Structure 1
């Protein structure tokens, strides 16, 4: 049971960071993977890299915030697989600003990518997941969904709602055998956090709050995604798995040693 043999897995935002690591991890465990990303060159390059490694993976150029693009993803799954075993709603974005500085276009885009797109993909793929083998949805949320970690309020709002979406769908869709869980990472080495992690002051603040005294790695998050996709995690649903190096468990502040 500690494998993903022949699992049909869709991973959004699959060319960078946690998404890329999840694509590689699930393929190594025997899955067939469809991944999406917006940049055509990045999709083509990663798909060729995977093919060269003899993995069964397909890349689609898609902006999941666009309804037509979402329908294209759903149509591909229906036409090529006829069912879906695992949906990983990983794609996300952020704009870091003070609340009063956001334009309506900016915060609506964050909500569209981080919240509305996972909601609509989950709804649109429900029938195909219901046909899958031990189907599961995994939403990549964030500790920003339940703590203020200075990410900006729209991002935090979107992740908080995504965690609640996870819980509601887990209960509502249990009758359809679809498990739904979320993963909430703390600061992780990804393109989304690259600029911040080059800031020594910010890194000091992060490590001061983290008992393990380091940031996370995308590969560590990918292993959690893989586990939640496995049949061996079949009694886990409606949960938000926090991967934060102990940050949310620490009551007293410790300086970086």
Structure 2
């Protein structure tokens, strides 16, 4: 029998930024695949909405854990709460991220610190915390949500692009260090998907046309199209993959901009 299983039955994941957008979609998709999911972000109301969707449409458990993902103590506390309640941690999805679109000559120190803290440092702290547990319990998987902007220069801002490129490199280094512990670390690099974070900019007709012109498939992504690759990487089907970044971008990155 050569077809590996894609089910996540009986496993437990922690997803950051799970209150809306791509993070919400990923959390729901994991639950649909049978995974129990801890939902982490600052805003409890958003997390409760995600949890309600999971509880109404799947048999999976949803754990609402409000936390500031830039605060080490709160991140560590979120993992402690999950492990205390469930006794296990199989998967971490570092999805939380943000951007402040600013020309490079106008970037302030505060903007730099805010974006780096949210997009990069929080992912490392969460990975480090998960890694310590996984090392002692036979391994696990970490999936970082980077961006095609970490692979190709985009008009998303120098700080955002730098953090997403660093996240791809962090994925490789952690995969190299932790493979011997059975910890697999991979990343996803999305292009444009319609989320609360992108809704405003995608309403600009000229900007949208520029996106479509740069995308061979001539459309933006549907959220389920980023969920599928995450479930794949989380499943046994990807058990011989580590240190990789899957670019989910409608072919955008094959151009040489």
Question: By the TM > 0.5 criterion, same fold?
Answer: yes
Question: Residue in 2 aligned with 1:241?
Answer: 246
Alpha-carbon RMSD across the aligned residues, in angstroms, is: 1.5
Question: Residue in 2 aligned with 1:125?
Answer: 130
Instruction: Provide the C-alpha distance between the structure 2 equivalents of 1:59 and 1:5, rounded to a whole number of angstroms.
Output: 20
Shift of 1:127: 2.4
Relative to the length of structure 2, the TM-score reads 0.93
Give yes or no for the alignment of 1:81 onto 2:110.
Answer: no
Q: 2:39 aligns with which of 24, 35, 38?
A: 35
Instruction: Provide the C-alpha distance between the structure 2 equivalents of 1:214 and 1:131, rounded to a whole number of angstroms.
Output: 44
Shift of 1:133: 6.3
Question: Residue in 2 aligned with 1:140?
Answer: 145
Give yes or no for the alignment of 1:203 onto 2:202.
Answer: no
- In the alignment, is the contact (CA less than 8 A) between 2:138 and 2:181 conserved in 1? no
Instruction: Provide the C-alpha distance between the structure 1 equivalents of 2:139 and 2:130, rounded to a whole number of angstroms.
Output: 15
Shift of 1:130: 2.6
Shift of 1:197: 0.6
Secondary structure of the structure 1 residue equivalent to 2:74: helix
Give yes or no for the alignment of 1:181 onto 2:161.
Answer: no
Relative to the length of structure 1, the TM-score reads 0.93
Question: Residue in 2 aligned with 1:48?
Answer: 52
Q: Deviations over 1:44-85 (max 9, x none)?
A: 233233333353111111110112211211211331233311
Give yes or no for the alignment of 1:101 onto 2:106.
Answer: yes
- In the alignment, is the contact (CA less than 8 A) between 2:93 and 2:144 conserved in 1? yes
Instruction: Provide the C-alpha distance between the structure 2 equivalents of 1:61 and 1:43, rounded to a whole number of angstroms.
Output: 8
The answer for unaligned runs of 5 or more in structure 2 is none
Question: Residue in 1 aligned with 2:115?
Answer: 110
Shift of 1:41: 1.6
Give yes or no for the alignment of 1:3 onto 2:10.
Answer: no
Deviates most, 69-78 or 236-245? 69-78
Deviates most, 62-71 or 199-208? 62-71
Q: 1:165 aligns with which of 148, 161, 170?
A: 170
Secondary structure of the structure 2 residue equivalent to 1:137: strand
Instruction: Provide the C-alpha distance between the structure 2 equivalents of 1:134 and 1:74, rounded to a whole number of angstroms.
Output: 16
Question: Residue in 2 aligned with 1:92?
Answer: 97
Q: 2:197 aligns with which of 192, 196, 201?
A: 192
Secondary structure of the structure 2 residue equivalent to 1:94: coil
